[in-house]
Chains A and B, each alone.
Chain A
Amino acid sequence: ILKRLLKDEL
């Protein structure tokens, strides 16, 4: 499962 790649959430 991809861990959080980039912080695209607020």
Chain B
Amino acid sequence: MNIFRLAGDLSHLAAIIVLLLKIWKTRSCAGISGKSQILFALVFTTRYLDLFTNFISPYNTVMKMIYLGCAYATVYLIYMKFKATYDGNHDTFRAEFLVVPVGGLAFLVNHEFSPLEILWTFSIYLESVAILPQLFMISKTGEAETITTHYLFALGMYRALYLINWIWRYYFENFFDLIAIVAGCVQTILYCDFFYLYITKVLQGKKLSLPA
């Protein structure tokens, strides 16, 4: 474990908690893409299948359970409890256009052709594009609540910090995983225009609104 990976995990945890609290406290999921949240729940489910068979550390197990629990709790709040506030008219990104190609790619490009490894690879690829429905929804509505922008910033930073963690592990632990690195680069690049808007607008106290 290095500081970059720990910072990344904490940023990821913060994002997940901020989103859950935002929906719970405001009792509304306006502006939140339910499709992205379903994709994230799928990412954690397919990545943490070895949760009970492959013990790494108490930290690893606890964090995985928190991620899984919060992901499903968020999906539940969006599609069940606060369904009335779900903005389905703007959450129209075709998620199947992500899941199917990612599923095919996981079959073709992986480290080992075994069920667990293919599912892990699927989760890595899917995570890199899972935020697209959310970004698409913001581009359609033309704006985002400030709390939602903080959620997205923390979520985007988590994988950016992981990229630094992989550089660190390459030099100090001779550790290298091309699949995770390439997918992590794609994932972080997708946030770049949001990062620009976040830093130039939200941090200046303005509301995030896209030129319609």
Cα distance A4–B12 in the bound complex, in angstroms: 22
Bound complex: CA A1 to CA B180 (Å)? 15
B175 at the interface (CB under 8 A from A): yes
Is B35 part of the binding interface, using a Cβ–Cβ cutoff of 8 Å? no
| A7 partner, pick from B5, B9, B12, B50, beta carbons under 8 A | B50
Least CB separation from A9: chain B residue: B5
Contact for B176 among A1, A6, A8, A9, CB less than 8 A = A1
For residue A1, which residues in chain B have a CB less than 8 angstroms away from its CB?
170, 174-176
Majority secondary structure, A binding face: loop
- Specify the main secondary structure of chain B where it touches its partner: helix
A10 with B177: CB separation less than 8 A: no
A8 touches B177 (CB 8 A): no
Please indicate the chain B residues that have their CB under 8 angstroms from the CB of A6 in the complex.
54, 56
How many chain B residues sit at the interface, stated as a range, is 20 to 34
B114 within 8 A of A: no
User: In the bound complex, do residue B175 and residue A10 qualify as a contact, i.e. CB atoms below 8 Å apart?
Assistant: no
- The answer to whether A2 and B174 touch across the interface, beta carbons within 8 angstroms, is yes
- Tell me if B111 is interfacial: C-beta within 8 Å of chain A: yes
Binds A, one of B17-25, B60-68, B187-195: B60-68
A1 to B177, CA, bound (A): 9
How far does the alpha carbon of A9 sit from the alpha carbon of B174 in the complex, in Å? 15
- In the complex, whether B120 has a CB less than 8 A from a CB of chain A is yes
- Residues of chain B within 8 A (CB-CB) of A7 are 47, 50, 54, 56, 120
- A8 to B177 CA separation, bound complex (whole angstroms): 12
Q: Is the CB of A2 within 8 A of B175?
A: yes
Check A10 against B174 for contact (C-beta < 8 Å). Answer: no
Q: A9-B5, A10-B9 are in contact. List 4 more A-B contacts (CB 8 A).
A: A3-B111, A4-B179, A7-B47, A8-B60
Interface residues in chain A, defined as those with a beta carbon under 8 Å from any beta carbon in chain B: 1-4, 6-10
The 17 sampled A-B contact pairs (Cβ below 8 Å) are: A1-B174, A1-B175, A2-B175, A3-B176, A4-B111, A4-B175, A4-B177, A7-B50, A7-B54, A7-B56, A7-B120, A8-B60, A9-B165, A10-B9, A10-B12, A10-B60, A10-B63
